[in-house]
Structure 1
Amino acid sequence: MTFVLMLGSAPMATETAHWPRAFDALVAINNAWRVRADWDFSIYPWDFPPDRVAVPGQHQALVTEADFVPAQNRYGGFVYAGATMAYTAAYWALDALKPRVLAVFGCDMHYPAGQTHFYGVGTPDPLRRDITLRSLEAKSVRLIVLAALQGCAVVNLSVGPSRLLCPRAALSDLAVVRPLAFDAGRVAAAQAREAELGYFAPSGRYWEDLSAYDVAEIDRLDALWLACLP
């Protein structure tokens, strides 16, 4: 698959309602399936309210933890990847769809005062106190690098403040964007440290035994990933 658009629930998400279908697949996170009727995959967590789950039509599919936990595990697991749906959806897309370009919109994890989501005021999940989300920026670098290693460029179509460190792009740029360059030696060091720490929960429910993880080590690991981009 060439171009995948991953749509979040930021207030700007509604702008995509009139976008041309310039992508091969649309992955809608949580409530974002409401923005465009032509979504292909609706992905949501285990605690998503049942009355908000999309009803898939022909050629549409729901993506649940039965699908994304194994996918996330193939990229090192939730502790290293960052346990918020923006990153979970991105890793699932890399695993299941294998795009050449993963373009994200409305997933900036930036929450100014007032309306936080296109449907009103929601809970800023990525800002909760969680051992996997201590540096959203470091987690974004990890995603960018692991995507690049499989030949995929991750770009941000949003404008304005963002916690994502991937390059900005326009919808019209997708044919020419390329994976971001990175420091291979530092990436190898970060991956080696992940292997040494062994912070892995096969079920995805890392929070069931937080004593297994050292926050200081996670912070050091985040610093290693942050140093991987020029």
Structure 2
Amino acid sequence: MRPASAPKIVLILGSAPDAVRSREWQRAPFDAIVAINNAWRVRDDWNYLVHAGDFPQSAMPVPDLARDRKIHTASDYVPAQNAYGGFVYAGATMSLTSAYWALHRLKPDVLAFLGCDMNYDQAGPTHFYGYGNADPLRPDVTLQSLEAKTGRLMISAARQGCICVNLSRLDTSRLVFPRVDIDELAEWSPRDAQLRIDSVLRQVDEAQLLRAEIRERTLGYYFPSGEYWLFLDQIDARELRCLDDLWLAALGRKETAPTPECSETVWKVAAAR
């Protein structure tokens, strides 16, 4: 039974094979369900569908199913992602884009992810509907480290008063969020959510976080249209790799060493500005 006083929980539902586990779950823990692309087919009580610009019309829900739901496209999520620094820094894949949209629009206490592990190394189907394109693994300058990008999201959410959690039971995940069981999450009080937010914020290395934020402003890779691919000649992949290292360092990931391209000069320039 859900507590009388409960945090606002939003489910971000992707298309990984284990997304179908959510069909067994009660609706009660979730204040809203955000389906990404084909994930609207997983369960029929979603509230929002956020889809990519190239999502085919033939894959959209039929009008009767879409009635009283909201469908969001680039005109909605580009401004939302811009509010958190834009696609180059936030990462241009729909799991991240949908999450930043939800943070901006729905302002949850908890963002709970299922089917968004972005792990394609395991044998068998890549998606609940079979095989699909591994969008996060495409050669894209904004997606060189999914761990850094999801870490940036987790820090951004925590600073806004929201904890990101992963409901997946897969052995590995590219998400750096803490794992939580659905039965445990359903019993959370607002204090439970706040304690976990505080834990994330205590984990953050503030000096490295400041370096990362200053570095983003210094680089200036901000393109309000969201069409960063039109400006690739202005984006240095090496600089973004170094920026990813800073975000990982801000998370206190001690096992992460600077990439060889990140000289001491590159690492120190942000702190000197």
Q: TM-score, normalised by structure 2?
A: 0.82
Higher helix share: 2
Partner of residue 128, structure 1: 138
Residue-pair matches, total? 230
Q: What whole-Å deviation, never above 9, does each CA across 1:127-181 have from its counterpart, x for those lacking one?
A: 0000000000000110000001101000000022100111101123332232212
Partner of residue 46, structure 1: 53
2:178 counterpart (153, 167, 175): 167
Matched, 1:3 2:12: no
Partner of residue 225, structure 1: 247
Partner of residue 12, structure 1: 18
Partner of residue 162, structure 2: 152
Q: How does 1:31-70 map to 2 (within 5 A)?
A: 31-54=38-61, 55=63, 56-70=65-79
Q: State the one-letter code of the partner of 2:93.
A: T
Q: Matched residue of 1:217: which SS?
A: helix
Q: State the one-letter code of the partner of 1:27.
A: V
2:35 counterpart (21, 28, 49): 28
Q: Matched residue of 2:149: which SS?
A: helix
Partner of residue 193, structure 1: 215
What is the alpha-carbon distance in structure 2 between the residues aligned to residue 120 and residue 58 of structure 1?
A: 27
Q: List 4+ stretches of structure 1 deviating above 3 A.
A: 55-59
1:73 counterpart (82, 93, 112): 82
**Structure 1 unmatched ranges of 5 or more:** none
**Structure 2 unmatched ranges of 5 or more:** 1-6, 253-273
Q: What whole-Å deviation, never above 9, does each CA across 1:86-121 have from its counterpart, x for those lacking one?
A: 000000000000000000001000012320000000
Matched, 1:94 2:94: no
What is the alpha-carbon distance in structure 1 between the residues aligned to residue 94 and residue 30 of structure 2?
A: 21
What is the alpha-carbon distance in structure 2 between the residues aligned to residue 128 and residue 113 of structure 1?
A: 19
Q: State the one-letter code of the partner of 2:85.
A: G
Q: State the one-letter code of the partner of 2:76.
A: D
Superposition CA RMSD, Å = 1.2
Rg comparison, structure with higher value: 2
Q: What whole-Å deviation, never above 9, does each CA across 1:55-97 have from its counterpart, x for those lacking one?
A: 4544310011010000000000000011000000000000000
Partner of residue 137, structure 1: 147
